[in-house]
Each structure stands twice: as structure tokens, then as C-alpha cells.
Amino acid sequence: MRKEYDFSKGERGKFYNSEAQLNLPIYLDADNLSFVEKIAERKDLDITTVVNELIRSDRELAKVIE
């Protein structure tokens, strides 16, 4: 690396996109991943869909409990 860099001609926010969506990676424990994979295989769905369905159902349960 250089000691100094010249950013005097740099443009702030050149690549900023206010409508960009970030999809953060989610890492499951091995036993949870295995559980979700089995459900996905049985329902012929991808893992993402199964995880989203599980979270949706948990949210509904949480609303009922409140």
C-alpha cells in the first residue's frame, strides 16, 4: 500500500443507489440446516422459501401470543 492516496478528484456517492436492496447471508447451524433441507426436499422447494415460510409462521404465532 502507498503511504498516501490522492482523493482530491474523487466523486462522493458515485455508486450510491438509494433503491438498492442488500440481501445479507444467513448462516444456519448444521442441525437447523439439515432440518430445513429435509423440508425443502419433501416440498420440492428451495431452502430460502422454506426458511421464509418458517419465519412467517413464527411471526404469526408471536402476534397471537402478544
Using one digit for the tens of pLDDT, what is the confidence trace for 50-59?
A: 999 999 999 9
Q: Which residues of 41-58 are buried (b: 16+ CB within 10 A; e: fewer)?
A: eeeeeeeeebbeeeeeee
pTM: 0.64
The pLDDT-based confidence of 12 (bands split at 50, 70, 90) is: very high
* pLDDT of 66 above 90: no
What nine digits make up the cell of 64?
397471537
Using one digit for the tens of pLDDT, what is the confidence trace for 28-62?
A: 999 999 999 999 999 999 999 999 999 999 999 99
